[in-house]
Amino acid sequence: MSPSRKTPVSDLLGSIHAVASDLHAVGAIDKATMRRFDLSCLTPVEPLEPEAIRQIREASSMSQAVFAKALNVTASLVSQWERGEKKPSGPSLKLLNLAERKGIDAIL
């Protein structure tokens, strides 16, 4: 999905979330409903191809070693991701998606 398609959806969800938060503040939405709504608004984590990981790193002007430190992983693991030997998962994949969408400064 291109960034131009993500932005309107994110803006729309942000607006809806603000309204829901206001409704929760005045007691019109209970805490459990608000929590479920919060979870539904989380940004999805997309799998990344090796080339995409390399592009994120290069766009950040970082070596594999420095990029690895930013992600709290080893430089060897970043190298394996970029060669397609391993795939990022869990928190690493979430951080990579965030860095892809908002830039490396979003995770530093």
Given CA atoms 95, 96, 101, 102 in this order, what sign does their dihedral have? positive
b/e per residue 42-63 (b: at least 16 CB within 10 A):
eeebeebebebbbebbeebebe
Confirm if 67 and 76 have CB atoms less than 8 A apart. Answer: no
Inform me whether the pLDDT recorded for 96 exceeds 90: yes
User: Model pTM greater than 0.95?
Assistant: no
- Rounded to 5°, angle at Cα 26 from 22 and 30: 90
pLDDT at 79 over 90: yes
Residue-level pLDDT at 40: 81
pLDDT tens string 10-29:
678 888 888 989 999 999 99
Nearest by Cα to 20 from 9, 8, 31: 31
Place of tokens 């940004």: 43
Averaged pLDDT, 91-104: 95
- pLDDT, tens digit, for every residue of 39-65? 888 777 999 999 999 999 999 999 999
Of 39, 41, 48, give the one whose Cα is nearest residue 99.
48
